[in-house]
Copies of this chain bind each other. A is one copy, B any other.
């Protein structure tokens, strides 16, 4: 679908407008969009300010031209792919740190600031923004907020959403509002801020944010624990969390993922389930580690290595390399869509067991790993996606695991959002009435459907299946 975007040239913008093939190609998809599913926008605008965003959106709305916000493009569900063409609104030039308020434990940033840059700027104050996702070194604060992202430290510090105090947002008609408050809490009016968080640019475009901060911990230690079986490892995690172990990261990889890691890094890690740990404390960190160790020992833990600094980072390497390891494992095997189910922590052992059962039933290699402390599990169904039969079988296995997660009172996505990829599961999780309510809200806030159309709950429900068939 192409749209006449020549009106852009008449807008008085601080930022650049690009019609170049390379810029359009670079904005045709994100990490979660395969080459064949990419859609080039008709134009790319590199916005420099809230005013730029407002002017572009207002003019596009007048003409019914789609505007899809684009940040770092690290989304995994085609969240930023302009599937109906139109304008890709790139926010990465809006990368200023507006103000640091150490006395208020706050930082105000433009939406395009990279996560790690926030923490670098805060270092001299002894502060940090705790809930960065694993992609924090490349993804933007605005993108994280729009996706309702979270990460390895969520088990201790919560999600990105929990640290967002207030936002500047451009609505579909170009009007600009502030939502939330710089106060640490508020019960003033409808919670529009939370409605916009995780709405993936479909209800408004985030241009600025004030974030809450925390003091950096005085003590950091971490390492790796090895378990004989996956059941032991998952039950150890579940027990540690319910016992209240104060852990800052607790990540699981299964034995199959350990195989990938050894293959990738030419290491000789035990090819067994492993738990990666990190502890943060101002005092008493060793007591907390001992508390954790005693629980793990009750679940047949074979080995625990704890360190700090560079040695700790080395122990974590296998966890950090997972995506690259999976990608490079076998050139004939694709990764398929990334699983991101999340279940209540007591059900985590059952969820992991389901992965193994399904892998066996469907005769596929399904390594899994994830933010275990939150009950969040990533799985990859490795298959030859060029083989029609195998691809169909792999996608069926992928969907079966989503259904199993829902049966365990879980959610279809813990931190990646819906985008295009998970739309087809929305009704399964939320029911028809709740999805209709979401659609009504979208219709009210963006009546012409110009903001990132086709994502989460498309305005025309009939189109879902067709588009999904194309895009997955």
Binding site for B on A (CB under 8 A): 101-106, 147-150, 154, 158-159, 162, 171, 175-179, 181-192, 194-195, 197-199, 203, 214-215, 238, 241-244, 246, 282-284, 287-288, 291, 342-347, 374-376, 409-418, 422, 426, 429-431, 433-435, 437-438, 440-445, 456-457
Contact = CB atoms under 8 A, between A and B. Distances in A.
Contacts of A203: 190
Given A344-B106, A414-B183, A189 B441 contact: no
Given A431-B177, A441-B441, A456-B190, A185 B159 contact: yes
A65 B95 CA distance: 51
A8 to B, nearest CB: 24
16 contacts: A101-B344, A104-B346, A147-B187, A149-B187, A171-B433, A176-B433, A177-B437, A179-B434, A183-B374, A185-B376, A189-B456, A190-B195, A190-B457, A284-B284, A441-B441, A444-B444
Contacts of A429: 181, 188-189
Nearest to A244: B215
Contact of A375 (B183, B291, B413): B183
A181 B411 contact: yes
A375 B182 CA distance: 10
Given A101-B344, A104-B344, A411-B183, A441 B190 contact: yes
A429 B158 CA distance: 27
Interface-centre pick from A187, A194, A431 (highest chain B CB count, 10 A): A187
B344 A182 contact: yes
Contacts of A154: 185
A184 B344 contact: yes
A445 B434 contact: no
A185 B150 contact: yes
B183 A342 contact: yes
A56 B224 CA distance: 56
Nearest to A241: B105
Contacts of A374: 183-185
A281 to B, nearest CB: 9
B409 A187 contact: no
A443 to B, nearest CB: 8
Nearest to A349: B103
Contacts of A150: 185, 187
A186 B413 contact: yes
Given A187-B413, A187-B414, 20 more contacts: A177-B433, A178-B434, A179-B434, A182-B410, A183-B343, A183-B344, A183-B375, A184-B342, A184-B344, A186-B342, A186-B413, A186-B414, A187-B198, A189-B434, A189-B456, A190-B438, A191-B195, A191-B197, A284-B287, A441-B441
Contacts of A343: 183
Leading 5 A-B pairs by shortest Cβ distance: A103-B346, A194-B194, A215-B244, A148-B187, A186-B411
Contact of A243 (B215, B417, B433): B215
A339 B102 CA distance: 27
Contacts of A430: 177-179, 188-189
A374 to B, nearest CB: 5
A171 to B, nearest CB: 7
Given A150-B185, A195-B195, A437 B346 contact: no
